[in-house]
């Protein structure tokens, strides 16, 4: 099968198993000899064994390695680490400098672990099973392990119609298909984010959910791979890893029999908990690739204000650069003094500013371009295969070099460039950083023998198409590894097993840094390619910390690997202004936030490329208000799509932002909890209703935080939506009326006009909401709270609130509040270390069936004038207007 044909099949969700070395049928791999386990030795929580080839080698994509080493460690009562290596060869492993590993508990007893490792010696196979039920969770069974220099294969059996989530980044359904399905992990610049292809990020973790429990499997490997899921009559349902390098390094996570979010917390124990972000970052962000000059940028800011749409942060894409060179401004179109004027204006209005920074540095020897000259002097560039000259690509500024993030001098170089260009005194005082093109992307078609010629052919850097403005134009006056790995015998450009890479010709080096490019520590891009974006993320996070020591950073990236969320957030890349891309964004944010631990995530609202419509943009503005990271952004080839440009979109944005801003403290609290223990910030329905099989495939609804059910309209011209309500009380967020479908079922939500979005509160929640009207997060923090009590069917509810200064990594003061409700009494307790500076304006009790006879605040009767009751909606309002500086109780009879 020709490679292009194989890629086409991969895009269609077909198996793309290339015919190599005489293997015409993937099932033939199950006839390979596998290994025998010898010298099995167990000591405490650790088992070791030698694995010896059990028969005549298959040699399907190379020569089978005859002797392997097995190491199994019970690292905790809920985590087993299984590692298979070649003891005779220093094979590549994901460096701990990129992904630090958790420490094992040396006193873990396998006998009391929630999951168990079982094995057979001849032929060697292993399984992981749940100790309490003996249910097998992972089993290589009749599928022999294949271990070759450039091909590793492990295959496990799955239940029929398995519920598999993760293995991203992708734009497929949140619950992955199980028939002829391939997930390819190899970072690429994925314009248009085509469904069924490899995209920007790589997270080889999956959660499997069953009504008997949820568990996780994480393969720590950054090499290119195809992960295939298929169901056939002969083999049943299987999941198969096909990896082109590295080692087999698995973490098996027990999860829980009752709470799916437990497996997310266990995964956080391995890759780290998500970073806390600044309070202001939850506001609305606006950007466009195509703002022509500084006047455009300033006018957008004032137009948002004139439209009464709360804009928190203004962004600027690469337009501001001189000839697309990073760490420059165009003196004619974006002069430094006028850009500083914009930044000062934003800061004086409690707003913020973010700029784009790409990794590719223009290759300009002898032209006085400081970022290139300083990087060359420090020798920090990624090297070509000869290990002497820099690797050259072609990106926006033309021919470029790329920082080598493994070079120990690169961090100092990056810090210095950020300090110089983003200086509050002499440069542009940014509040956050946006990093793009870090797969790394190159426009050079493989083989890129002459990047200079390709840059000329592609007109890089592109010329300006408009005249510069008068530099004195008034603004803001109108309302408009560390081990060296031997690859000398490997074909790293054209490996024997071809993963289904969708970039260009499909060659691994196409549209990116060559796989034989060499890092300072001897590693090559063949092994580390999928880490480049995450390593740039770390370096940028550190550079921002150096600018503002002690303050949280907001860094938004495009390419990620496991663990990236400990430092950065992400957007889902270059989507299109299409209805199916709006729908796909929901599964995308669910994957990042609820599985991969990158909760500060969002998609380009209204779409990046192509022209949006008023209807699509209105619906997307409403949905985007429930992305943790909310940004409107589109391309220079599209019409402008700022929310204020259509009356309907402006109203939809105002309405949705009103809900979002009232919920910011609620979601800020959820982020703090996620940072503390890995509890997800977004939740698919089955996380909260794990026994309800109807929820397992739903990805057109989700929980924002723990308790806010979002059920958006995702079809053009529709004014209703069929929403699934599980077996619990739900309350409409706007009118607070209750809905309950016994046993769970579909509710037809009608008359959902273009400026609204169905949002419901799950019963059992106490929500600390702000009152309406804030235009910035600074103003929001000066706005009173109202407490909404939404009882569950059992009559109880609970919630929490976390407050601090909103910016410090280690805040000096904190306020932590718990809310509990039962027997018609709300009890508020906490430690009020950080002054709220505001009042609790009122408490709203939902689901009240009868008019109350009396209401008491801290045991004292409340005047009747402070109470109001809506019998139709079942809402009791109690006005308090008390300082939110201590605990209190409110009860009614």
Catalytic residue numbers read: 436, 439, 574
Contact 210, 175 (CB under 8 A): no
* Cα radius of gyration rounded to whole Å, the chain: 28
| Rounded-to-integer distance, Cα 245 and Cα 226, Å | 12
Contact 788, 822 (CB under 8 A): no
- Interacting residues of 884 by C-beta distance below 8 A, sequence separation 6+: 784, 785, 832, 836, 838, 839, 840
Count other C-beta atoms under 10 Å from residue 345's C-beta.
Answer: 17
CA dihedral 528, 534, 540, 546 (to 10 degrees): -100
CA distances from 563 to 74, 220, 538 (A): 21, 11, 10
Contact 773, 782 (CB under 8 A): no
Contact 880, 840 (CB under 8 A): yes
Contact 267, 275 (CB under 8 A): no
CA distances from 749 to 288, 586, 757 (A): 34, 19, 10
Contact 199, 170 (CB under 8 A): yes
Looking at the DSSP assignment, which residues form a beta bridge with residue 354?
A: 315, 432
| Rounded-to-integer distance, Cα 582 and Cα 602, Å | 11
Question: Of 764, 688, 769, which Cα lies nearest the Cα of 724?
Answer: 688
Residues in the chain: 893
Question: Of 668, 893, 645, which Cα lies nearest the Cα of 803?
Answer: 668
Q: Which residue has the tokens 């509710």?
A: 747
The DSSP bridge pattern shows strands 432-435 and 555-557 to be parallel
Concatenate the DSSP letters of all residues of 451-508 into one string: HHHHHHHTTSSPPP-SPPPPTT---SS-----SPP--TTS-SSS-SS-----STTS-T
- Interacting residues of 359 by C-beta distance below 8 A, sequence separation 6+: 402, 403, 435, 437, 438, 440, 532, 536
Q: For residue 229, what is the DSSP state?
A: E
* Helix and strand totals (H; E) in the chain: 14, 47
Contact 723, 749 (CB under 8 A): yes
Token pair for 221: 């490997």
Contact 278, 809 (CB under 8 A): no
Print burial letters for 478-517: b (CB count within 10 Å at least 16), e (below 16). Answer: eeebeeebebeebebeebbbbbbbbbbebbbbbbbbbbbb
- Interacting residues of 736 by C-beta distance below 8 A, sequence separation 6+: 788, 844, 846, 873, 874, 875
Q: For residue 591, what is the DSSP state?
A: I
> HSE on the CB side for 114, CA within 13 Å?
18
| Rounded-to-integer distance, Cα 622 and Cα 620, Å | 5
Q: Which residue has the tokens 């410090």?
A: 808
Contact 66, 34 (CB under 8 A): no
Q: For residue 290, what is the DSSP state?
A: T
Question: Of 228, 229, 225, which Cα lies nearest the Cα of 243?
Answer: 225
Q: For residue 593, what is the DSSP state?
A: I
């Amino acid at each position: 099968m020709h490679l292009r044909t194989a890629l086409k099949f991969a895009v269609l969700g077909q198996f793309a198993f290339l015919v190599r070395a005489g293997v015409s049928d993937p099932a033939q791999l199950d006839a390979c000899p596998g290994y025998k386990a010898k010298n099995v030795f167990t000591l405490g929580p650790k088992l070791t064994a030698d694995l010896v080839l059990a028969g005549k080698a298959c040699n399907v994509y190379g020569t089978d390695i005859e002797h392997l080493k097995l190491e199994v460690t019970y690292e905790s009562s809920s985590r087993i680490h299984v590692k298979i290596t070649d003891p005779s060869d220093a094979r590549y492993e994901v460096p701990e400098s990129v992904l630090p590993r958790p420490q094992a508990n040396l006193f873990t007893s396998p006998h009391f672990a929630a999951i168990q490792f079982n094995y057979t010696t001849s032929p060697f196979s292993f399984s992981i099973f749940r100790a309490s039920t003996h249910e097998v969770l992972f089993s290589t069974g009749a599928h022999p392990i294949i271990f070759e220099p450039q091909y590793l294969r492990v295959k496990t059996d799955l239940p029929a119609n398995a519920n598999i989530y993760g293995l991203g980044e992708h734009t497929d359904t949140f619950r992955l298909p199980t028939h002829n399905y391939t997930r390819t992990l190899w970072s690429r610049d994925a314009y248009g984010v085509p469904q069924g292809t490899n995209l920007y990020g790589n997270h080889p973790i999956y959660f499997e959910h069953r009504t008997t429990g949820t568990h996780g499997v994480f393969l720590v490997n950054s090499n290119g791979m195809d992960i295939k899921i298929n169901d056939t009559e002969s083999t049943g349902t299987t999941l198969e890893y096909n990896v082109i390098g590295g080692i087999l390094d698995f973490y098996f996570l027990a999860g829980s029999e009752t709470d799916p979010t437990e497996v997310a917390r266990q995964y956080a124990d391995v890759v780290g908990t998500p970073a806390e972000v600044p309070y202001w970052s939850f506001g609305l962000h606006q950007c466009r690739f195509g703002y022509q000059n500084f006047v455009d940028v300033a006018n957008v800011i004032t137009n948002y204000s004139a439209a009464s749409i709360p804009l928190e942060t203004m962004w600027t894409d690469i337009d501001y650069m001189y000839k697309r060179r990073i760490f420059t401004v165009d003196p004619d179109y974006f002069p430094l003094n006028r850009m500083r004027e914009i930044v000062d204006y934003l800061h004086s209005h409690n707003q913020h500013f973010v700029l784009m920074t790409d990794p590719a540095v223009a290759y300009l020897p002898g032209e006085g371009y400081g970022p290139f000259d300083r990087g060359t002097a420090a020798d920090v560039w990624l090297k070509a295969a000869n290990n002497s000259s820099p690797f050259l690509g072609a990106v926006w500024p033309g021919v470029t070099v790329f920082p080598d993030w493994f070079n120990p001098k690169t961090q100092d170089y990056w810090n210095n460039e950020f300090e110089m260009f983003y200086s509050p005194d002499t440069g542009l005082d940014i509040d956050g950083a946006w990093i793009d093109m870090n797969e790394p992307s190159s426009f050079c078609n493989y083989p890129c023998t002459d990047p200079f010629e390709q840059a000329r052919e592609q007109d890089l850097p592109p010329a300006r198409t408009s005249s510069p403005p008068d530099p004195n134009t008034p603004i803001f006056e109108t309302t408009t590894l560390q081990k060296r790995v031997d690859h000398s015998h490997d074909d790293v450009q054209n490996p024997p097993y071809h993963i289904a890479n969708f970039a260009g010709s499909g060659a691994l080096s196409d549209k990116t840094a060559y796989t034989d490019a060499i890092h300072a520590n001897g590693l090559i891009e063949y092994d580390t390619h999928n880490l480049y974006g995450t390593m740039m993320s770390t370096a940028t996070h550190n550079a921002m910390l150096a600018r503002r020591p002690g303050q949280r950073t907001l860094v938004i990236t495009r390419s990620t690997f496991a663990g990236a969320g400990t430092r950065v957030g992400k957007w889902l890349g270059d989507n299109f202004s299409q209805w199916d891309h709006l729908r796909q964004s929901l599964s995308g944010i669910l994957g990042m936030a609820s599985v991969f631990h990158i909760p500060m995530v969002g998609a380009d609202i209204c779409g990046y490329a192509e022209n949006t419509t008023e209807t699509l943009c209105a619906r997307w503005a409403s949905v985007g208000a429930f992305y943790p990271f909310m940004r409107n952004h589109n391309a220079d080839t599209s019409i402008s799509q700022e929310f204020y440009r259509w009356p309907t979109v402006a109203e939809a944005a105002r309405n949705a932002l009103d809900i979002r801003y009232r919920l910011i403290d609620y979601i800020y609290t959820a982020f703090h909890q996620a940072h503390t223990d890995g509890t997800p910030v977004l939740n698919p329905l089955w996380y909260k209703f794990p026994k309800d099989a109807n929820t397992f495939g739903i990805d057109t609804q989700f929980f924002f935080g723990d308790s806010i059910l979002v059920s958006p309209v995702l079809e053009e011209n529709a004014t209703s939506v069929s929403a699934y309500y599980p077996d619990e009380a739900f309350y409409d967020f706007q009118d607070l009326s209750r809905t309950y479908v016994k046993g769970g079922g579909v509710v037809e939500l009608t008359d959902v006009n273009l400026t609204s979005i169905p949002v419901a509160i799950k019963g059992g929640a106490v929500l600390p909401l702000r009152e309406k009207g804030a235009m910035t997060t600074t103003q929001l923090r000066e706005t009173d709270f109202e407490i909404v009590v939404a009882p569950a069917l059992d009559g109880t509810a609970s919630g929490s609130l976390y407050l601090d200064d909103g910016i410090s990594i280690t805040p000096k003061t904190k306020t932590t509040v718990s809310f509990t409700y039962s027997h018609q009494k709300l009890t508020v307790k906490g430690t009020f270390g950080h002054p709220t500076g505001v009042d609790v304006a009122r408490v709203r009790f939902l689901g009240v069936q009868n008019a109350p006879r009396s209401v008491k605040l801290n045991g004292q009767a409340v005047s009747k004038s402070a109470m109001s009751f809506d019998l139709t909606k079942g809402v009791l309002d109690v006005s308090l207007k008390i300082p939110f500086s201590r605990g209190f109780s409110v009860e009614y009879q």
